[in-house]
Structure formats: structure tokens, C-alpha cells
Structure 1
Amino acid sequence: MELNTLITSFLLALILSLLVILASSLGLRSRAKSKKKRRPPGPWGLPFVGSIHHLLTSQPQAALRGLAEKHGPVMYLRLGQVDTVVVSSAAAAQEVLRVNDLNFASRPSLLGAEIICYGNLDVAFAPYGAYWRALRKLCALELLSACKVRRFAPIRDSETMSLVREVLCRSGSSGGEPVNLGDLLVSCASSITGIAAFGDRCSGELMEQFLSAISVLISDISGFCVSDLFPSLRLVDVVTGTKRRLRRAHRQLDGVLDKIIAECEARRKERKAKNTGGEDDLLSVMLRIRDEGEFEFPFNTTNIKAIILDLFTGGTETVSSTAEWVMAELMKNPDAMAKAQTEVWHAFKNTSPCDHGSQMDELHYTRMVIKETLRLHPPLPLLLPRLCRETCDVGAFEVAKGSRVIVNSWAIARSPEYWDDAEEFKPERFENSTADYKGTQFEYLPFGHGRRICPGFGFGMASLELIVARLLYYLNWSLPDGMQPEELDMDTTVGASAKRTNQLHLVASPYEVRMEI
């Protein structure tokens, strides 16, 4: 009897153990399925290429918005061999850029940036870590502080006046010839950034060589690199010549930078010999930091070159393309143009040109025009991609470690959920709005938010506001060949930044009473 009881107990224990193991196995499978289900939804993909075919367009931000309308504000795409998550709502953007900012504070390594920016030694593409934090501190305290931006006011004053004179010169004596305003705006923004970076004694020939090399660089990094989406196929970029083209552009630019730095160092030695001091340009500041060993990490000429490239691509592309969009929107909206010109006229009248900068705080409507333009035409509609450092949740979905995360700021800024008449140009919407350029409101992120917000937006905005104000103050504008405002094309092409597909050509005529220039 005891033996039978023992056997029965043993069998019951065995059965119970098997049931526990089975239940545990089923639970694990259930949780595995649950986890699998938690991946964000997304569009269908093709074998090998994934969802790349959905983005074969000159406006990927619009294509992604269309997909998000079907699949939700947190969306998964397999782009080649890369897991990518796209967020298209203010709430999801807040989770990425504020709640989980540290987890998404790094960048993926992209071939173009890796080659051109000296192995990602720049601020924009450096991976998150102690080196990047030191770079950010350098920008905040030494290069792009509010105090430093104010010290560049004479440069902005001089170069924006030169822009007005050049417009008048190209317009002809009668003021009836159309001018390529887009081209002139690139030249003006480049000059402001160039003098701030290298000083006004940098030779004109070297500056022309540098700007030419920068133009080639921007064109090259706007292209498609196979290895960015298919890391296992890096050889393809070698075979197709993409890597060779990038290295050639890099060598050209590096050679010009060597000459500019040598010229700057000669000027520094001359000043030191004469005991005159002076350190107005950003390159001199960085050379001093290099020589004195003030930086927290080894800081050499290569690091300086990488930072200079960031200053130029950010300070030139963003300012010039946004100024061009401002003028295009004002041409399409004559009432807004008249209101902005009247405001500038009242603010600047009875003041000398050198005092215009101090009057900028009076240009409330003009600043609303710029804000509204940045809402509709952010320079980086998808911001820069972020890298998920550890698996976490966004919008109740799991974002896996190693995924790239894209914030579609363009889609958020045009969403009817946050904006009335979202596709219309209405500067007045910002009259009582707390939205600003610092990303305090997640429905408005023209320069991003958090640790990776653009460090140079203060420098860029100071130049942009004065350019726009002076174009409105000194000049009357009209469309060429009897074109009507509704006929003006507003096509966008997204590359290194979102620019007008066709540069803006306008007819400018001077206000005679303002011809003190």
C-alpha cells in the first residue's frame, strides 16, 4: 500500500512538473509573440530591399507622412538591412527627444559623413560620449555663445548691405531685370560664415576655393550610399566609385583648409610679435585652444577642420535656403509682404544702417513670418537620424537597440491635429504662441530638441533675420514677366537640406528715399 502510494505521489509530481514546464513554455512563447507584436506597425516590404521603394521620391518627408497616416505615428520600416523607426506626432517626438533623449542621443555612422567629417569628429555626427559632450561645451562657451554671436554683428551688417547693393547692381539702372535671388543669398550667407570663421583677412582666392570645395561636398553627401542601408555591401560603394568620389572631394577640401589654417597661423604669429592680441574669428579661437591644450581630449588640426565643416554647412545652407523660402512665401502672399514691409519701415526709419541690428526686437510680425516659413519649410524636414542605444518603448511600441530613429518634423508641423489650416501660410498663428526655435513645443521642431538640437541656430537666426529685414526695407519686389503669385512654383528637393527645386528669380526696384546705402 505504501509502495502504491509512493508511486502515485511520484506520478502526480511528475505530471505537475510537466504541466509547470508546459505552462512556462507556453508563457514564454506567449510573451515572445507579445514582444513581437509590440514592434511598431509599418508598410509591406520587398525581399532584400525592404521598404526602400516607398521612399523613391524627391520628398521623402511627404512619402513618410502618407505612410504614417495609414500605419500610425510610430512606424517601423526595414530599409535595406537597417531597422528604422519613424515618428510623426508631437507626443512620439517628445518621447524620443525628451523622455528618452539620452537613449537616442547618438548618431548612426553614414559613409559620406564618415569620410568628409574626418571619421565623424564633428559636432553633428560624432557618436554620443565624452568627446561629443566636450565638443558641445566648446560650441556653447567659445564658438557659438550669445556673446560671440553679438560680436559678429558688424560682419552681418556689412555683408547684408553688400547683398542689397548686389541686388541693385544686377537689377540694372531701371530696376527691371530679374535677379537670381537664391544664388545671391547663398553668396551672402557664405560670406557671413566665412568671415566669422576665418576673419576678414583670409584671401579672396582661398575663400573662393573653399566655397567651391564646399559646394562639391554638399552635392556629394546628398547622394545615395549603398552601405548606409546595406552595411554588408560596403564593397558596392567602392565598385561604383561612390567612395572614391567622396574621398576626392574630401582631399580637395582638406587641401584648401590646410592653406587657410596656415594663413591664419601666420596672422596669429604676426599679432603675437606686435603684441596686438585679437581673436575675432572662430578659427583663431580653436587654434588657441589647440595650442594651449585647454580641451578635455586631444584636440588637433583635424578636429578643427571637422568643426569648421559643420559651421559652414549649417551656417550657409540653412540660412540661405530659409531666406529664399521666406521671400517666396511673401511673394505668394502679398498681404503678408505689405504688412512685413510696413513694420520694417517703421522700425528702421530715422536710423542709420549700423543701428538696424539693435531694432530687430521691434520686428514682431517679420519674426512671425520667419517662424511660419520654418514651420512649412524646415531646413532638415527629417532632422538628423538618431541611433537607439538600448531597447526601449516609444508610443507603447518597442524600439530595438541599434535601430535608427527618424523624427518627421515636417509632417508634425503640417499636421491639422496641431495647426489650423495647416497647409496655409499664416504668420499670425504665432502671435500668441509659445513655440520657439529651441523646441519647447514638440509640434514645432525646426532645429530639433534636446542634447542634439542644432548648436548654431542662434548664429543662423541672427543672420537670417537681418537678411530678410533689409531685403524688405531697401527693395520693392515683384514677379518676373507678369507672373501671378499663384503661379509661383514651390517645389522642394530634399538633399543635404530642403531647398527650392528652382532658385527664386525676382525683380527688385529700390525705394528712392532709402538710398543712403
Structure 2
Amino acid sequence: MKLFNPTSIMEFALLLLIVIPLIFLFVKHFVFVSRHLPPGPNLFQVSGYLHQLVYKPHIAFNKLAKIHGPLFSFSLGHQLVVVASSPDIAKEFCRTNDRMFSGRHLSYVYHNLPGANSSSILLSPKCDELWKMQRSTAQTSIFSSKAMESHDWKTKVKVMEMVNYLRTKEGEVVHVEEIMFAALANLISSVVTSRNLFDFEGDQAIDDYKVMMDFVNEVIEKAITLSLVDFLPILKGIDFWSKRKAMDINRRIKLIWGQIIDERRSKGRDNPNNSTQDFLETVLAGGALSEDQIGNALMELLIAATDSTTSATVWLMVEINRNQEILSKVREEIAQTVEEDGLNESLLSQCQYFQACIKETLRLHVPAPLLVPHRAIETCKVNNYIIPKDSMVVVNAWAIARDPNYWEDATIFKPERFLDSKISHRGTHLEYLPFGTGLRMCPGSTVAFKDIQMLVGSLLHYFDWSLPNGEDMTTIDMNEKYVTTLKKEKPLLLIPKSREHYIVE
């Protein structure tokens, strides 16, 4: 996720970093000096990193960690930010003292969103009973092994819809990120509501999922990204923009999900004889959530299923296609899993080299470099330092995944490092945290991993890919940009060509 809103922070940079903090400077010194806060940069040192803190915070934090150590802190206005940059320190926050740091640090916009605080599955401010209930519902209907197995056929159908659409675009330039987003959006929507969000056919299809993708990015930008009022609570009394943004998000969520919710309420399920309930039916049957709360939960699931996973699929396509030797190995493995009706997801999971490529992509291109910020729900001691209540705690998963102390040739794409390795994507090893770990680990990590392997496996198996103008794949631009996740700076534009031998009707 993106920590800081560029517009608000850059506009009020002097106000935030110089004028107002001076008022608190001496008070903070006398209040906190006895608390033994973790070391870190002072006000003026932080201002020197302002541009990177806004646009590339994972890199700025990594540089500061090299100066101040793997556990450091600094203040932005009224807010204390604590950063963990090593597996040992991450363990303190996400394992040893997991409960104490299980809160979420969310924007004031999010707190103004009707029903958000009482309907969140992933972003709930605290791990209370309502959060446990919502999480349990999602686990049963979406994330459990039984649920995933029951949805395998839906995954296959949605992936083949994407494949068939791409066959109509043979020889044309396609925007890979947009195609991945649309496929993933349909996957999660079919699982949670038994409905598609998009139709891959028709002249309007591309425009529809472009609009949806832009809105997903906008929701993350407005509802999760921190702005000036989050660092200076004194401004809450005159903060009208946060409420306005929240109302705009609420209105657009209703446009997306309102009709689907109303239809389900009035008509029930299309197939009443099916004993498997989807997520929407389960929450409606419970009767405890309002339309706003249900809409928020559905939107949150859509964002979780598309944002970081889309980024991961794009980077995986880049890394594999840039190296013909790797591409050949992956295709040879995948070809052995094909059945008469197409790729088999369970057999794909046995493709060790392909699995290693996915893991390596999630290491080198961590989708959410700083995960989602934690919040200290109580004052706690970590490594003999005091972490005050309500501190924002950030785990720099990007820096940890590139630390040469734990990874040989840390900046090079080497899938072989994961062959015969016990390191998994489930947060069991603290040097590898693509989905986080502990209480607030992403509950959909296994679903995401399976979706990545099915989508990219299909793209590689059914199509050959080339760059426009016949450019060599090794020339693909590898620069990154930190938006909502760590994306390619330039969009991945490729031309598909069907591998005729592998066409499945």
C-alpha cells in the first residue's frame, strides 16, 4: 500500500515538517526522552528524504536503516513512525508481540467511510470479535482448502474466458496489466457473488475494466493513503475533505455492488439446490450487516484479489519472458500438466521450477513493499526500546527480501534458490514476507498464489509473446514505480500469438 499522499504532503511540506513540529519539539523531547524510543533521524534529516518518502518510501527506509539500524523511528507531525528492516525485528512485531501490534494504521478517510470500521476483513483497525466473525466467514467461503477446491472449476472457466479473449487479439498489442486485472476481478467476483464483473467480449469491455481498475487504485489512494490530517490530528476540526472523499467512495461502491446485493436479497440464489454458499449469500443470511457494510467488504475483497496479484503476474511475465532458458523450462513443466479440458490447477502446483519462479518474483518484486502498516494498541517494549501506543509500525519487506545477509545475489532473478527450499509464501520464514505474517497476514495468500500460477501458466502455455516492433524481450524496461503496489513504471505491452498445438476449445 502507499503510505503517503503526494499532493497533500508536498503542498504542506513546510507546514508539516518545519512550522507545526517546532511547537511540539521541546514537549516531545522531554516526554519521550525517558521512554527510550528507537534511534532515528531528526526533523531536518527527515526533510532531506521527503521526496523519496512520498514516491519510494521502501528505498528511503532502507537507506535510513543503514544509518540508524534495523529498528529506527522518526516523527511526522504528531505521528511516530517505527520501521523494522530485518527478520529479527520483524519477528518482534509480527510474532513475539503480535497481539500488541495487531492494530491497523488507517487514514482518516477510511474511518469516515460508512460502516468500514465494522465490516472489514483485512483492514479492521483492531482484531475484535466482529473482525474474527468476518474473517471466519471469508475463511469458510473463500480461503479454506475446501472452498478453494470447490472453486477450482470457476478458476478454470474464468482463465479460459481470458485465453479465448486473447485469441481474438492475436497480432495486436495488449496491455497485460489490464487483462490480468479483469481476469482477477471476474475470478473474485464469481467466487464471492457468483457473478462476473466484466464481459470480456464487446467493444465496451476494455473501457469497463479500465474504469474499474482506476477506481480500485483511487479507493486505495483515498481510503488507505495517509494525508496531512493523519499526521496533524489538530486539523480534524476543519477537515472537510476527508469526509467528502469518503462519501464519494461510498457512492461509487454502491454503484458497483448495490444492484448485485439488491438482486440477491430479492431473488435469492440463481441455483437454490446448490449446497455451497458464496460469501454474499452467507453474509446476507446472517442479517447482521447493512448494505454499506456488505459493499465495503466486497470492495475490500476485490482490491485484495486484484491489486497486488495483478502486479505480481505482470512481473512474473516479465522475468520469465526475458530469459528464454527459463521460459523453455517452465513451458516444458507446464505441458506435462495439460489434460483434455486444459490446464489442471492441482498438477500445476507440482511444477517445482514454475513454483520457484513465482516465489522468486514475489521476493524480488514484493507486491506491497511495506505490507500494510500496523498500529501499536498498547505501549510495548521491543529490543529494550519503548514503542508508544498508537505508533505506526512499518515492516520493510522489500528491504528484507533483498538483504545480502540472507540472500545470495539478492538483486538477481534466480528461481533456482527456491528449488529444494523449505521457504514458503505463507510467512513461516521471516526473511521472506510477500504476504506478511502473524495475525494480520493476508488470509488470501494461498488463493493469490494459485491464481498467479493459473493465469501466468495459461499465458505461457497457450501463447507466444513478443514486444511491439519486434524488439528483443531483454530490452523490457525494468524500472519500478510505487503507486498502490510496486508496479512497472512503464506498462507491459505485448503481442500474443496462439501456439496452435495447444488450442483447447
| TM-score, normalising length: structure 2 | 0.85
* Aligned pair partner of 1:70 in 67, 72, 81: 67
- Give the structure 1 partner of residue 356 of structure 2: 368
After superposition, residues 277-296 of structure 1 pair within 5 angstroms as: 277-290=274-287
Distance of 2:145 and 2:48 partners within structure 1: 43
- Give the structure 2 partner of residue 473 of structure 1: 461
* Aligned pair partner of 1:405 in 382, 393, 398: 393
Distance of 2:239 and 2:316 partners within structure 1: 38
Q: Kindly tell me: are residues 227 and 163 of structure 1, through their superposed partners in 2, closer, same or farther at Cα, counting changes over 3 Å?
A: same
1:314 partner letter: A
- Give the structure 2 partner of residue 516 of structure 1: 504
1:219 partner letter: E
Deviation at 1:403, TM superposition (A): 0.8
Q: Secondary structure at the match of 1:135?
A: helix
After superposition, residues 138-217 of structure 1 pair within 5 angstroms as: 138-171=137-170, 175=171, 177-200=172-195, 212=211, 215-217=214-216
Deviation at 1:501, TM superposition (A): 2.3
When structure 1 is superposed on structure 2, of 140-149 and 320-329 the one drifting more is 140-149
Distance of 1:128 and 1:138 partners within structure 2: 15
> Is the Cα–Cα contact under 8 Å of residues 58 and 492 in structure 1 kept in the other structure?
no
- Give the structure 2 partner of residue 218 of structure 1: 217
- Unmatched 5+ stretches in structure 1: 1-31, 291-297
Q: Secondary structure at the match of 1:452?
A: coil
Deviation at 1:452, TM superposition (A): 0.6
- Give the structure 1 partner of residue 78 of structure 2: 81
Deviation at 1:78, TM superposition (A): 0.7
2:72 partner letter: M
- Give the structure 2 partner of residue 266 of structure 1: 266
| TM-score, normalising length: structure 1 | 0.83
> Is the Cα–Cα contact under 8 Å of residues 202 and 260 in structure 1 kept in the other structure?
no
Is structure 2 residue 327 aligned with structure 1 residue 334? Answer: no
Q: Kindly tell me: are residues 491 and 149 of structure 1, through their superposed partners in 2, closer, same or farther at Cα, counting changes over 3 Å?
A: same
> Is the Cα–Cα contact under 8 Å of residues 87 and 407 in structure 1 kept in the other structure?
yes
Q: Computing the radius of gyration over CA atoms, which structure comes out larger, 1 or 2?
A: 1
* Aligned pair partner of 2:294 in 304, 321, 346: 304
Deviations 1:417-465 (A, max 9, x none): 1000000000110112221121000000011111111111222222111
> Is the Cα–Cα contact under 8 Å of residues 58 and 398 in structure 2 kept in the other structure?
yes
Q: Kindly tell me: are residues 300 and 206 of structure 1, through their superposed partners in 2, closer, same or farther at Cα, counting changes over 3 Å?
A: farther
Deviation at 1:184, TM superposition (A): 0.8
> Is the Cα–Cα contact under 8 Å of residues 264 and 284 in structure 1 kept in the other structure?
yes
Distance of 1:476 and 1:203 partners within structure 2: 25
Distance of 1:311 and 1:483 partners within structure 2: 38
When structure 1 is superposed on structure 2, of 143-152 and 206-215 the one drifting more is 206-215
Deviations 1:268-321 (A, max 9, x none): 17766xxx355443211221232xxxxxxx444333222212210011112221
1:225 partner letter: S
Is structure 2 residue 391 aligned with structure 1 residue 391? Answer: no
- Give the structure 2 partner of residue 493 of structure 1: 481
- Give the structure 2 partner of residue 435 of structure 1: 423
Q: Kindly tell me: are residues 263 and 52 of structure 1, through their superposed partners in 2, closer, same or farther at Cα, counting changes over 3 Å?
A: farther
> Is the Cα–Cα contact under 8 Å of residues 189 and 196 in structure 2 kept in the other structure?
no
1:327 partner letter: M
Is structure 2 residue 409 aligned with structure 1 residue 414? Answer: no
- Give the structure 2 partner of residue 294 of structure 1: none
Q: Kindly tell me: are residues 133 and 270 of structure 1, through their superposed partners in 2, closer, same or farther at Cα, counting changes over 3 Å?
A: closer
Deviations 1:461-509 (A, max 9, x none): 2211111111111111223323334421122222332222222111222
Q: Secondary structure at the match of 1:450?
A: coil
Distance of 2:147 and 2:210 partners within structure 1: 23
Q: Kindly tell me: are residues 415 and 154 of structure 1, through their superposed partners in 2, closer, same or farther at Cα, counting changes over 3 Å?
A: same
- Give the structure 2 partner of residue 228 of structure 1: 230
Distance of 1:192 and 1:335 partners within structure 2: 31
Distance of 1:140 and 1:433 partners within structure 2: 28
Distance of 1:232 and 1:489 partners within structure 2: 44
Q: Secondary structure at the match of 1:83?
A: strand
- Give the structure 2 partner of residue 22 of structure 1: none
Distance of 1:487 and 1:115 partners within structure 2: 45
- Give the structure 2 partner of residue 114 of structure 1: 111
- Give the structure 1 partner of residue 312 of structure 2: 322
- Between the aligned residues of both structures, percent identity stands at 28
Q: Secondary structure at the match of 1:244?
A: helix
Distance of 2:412 and 2:197 partners within structure 1: 44
> Is the Cα–Cα contact under 8 Å of residues 50 and 78 in structure 1 kept in the other structure?
no
- Unmatched 5+ stretches in structure 2: 1-29
Deviation at 1:399, TM superposition (A): 1.3
Q: Kindly tell me: are residues 89 and 216 of structure 1, through their superposed partners in 2, closer, same or farther at Cα, counting changes over 3 Å?
A: same
When structure 1 is superposed on structure 2, of 97-106 and 241-250 the one drifting more is 241-250
Distance of 1:203 and 1:319 partners within structure 2: 18
Deviations 1:139-162 (A, max 9, x none): 223432111111111111111112
Distance of 1:345 and 1:270 partners within structure 2: 37
Q: Secondary structure at the match of 1:507?
A: strand
Q: Secondary structure at the match of 1:323?
A: helix
- Give the structure 1 partner of residue 336 of structure 2: 346
When structure 1 is superposed on structure 2, of 459-468 and 50-59 the one drifting more is 50-59
Distance of 1:315 and 1:98 partners within structure 2: 25
- Give the structure 2 partner of residue 44 of structure 1: 42
Deviation at 1:258, TM superposition (A): 2.1
> Is the Cα–Cα contact under 8 Å of residues 206 and 260 in structure 1 kept in the other structure?
no
- Give the structure 2 partner of residue 25 of structure 1: none
Deviation at 1:112, TM superposition (A): 3.4
The number of residue pairs the alignment matches comes to 467
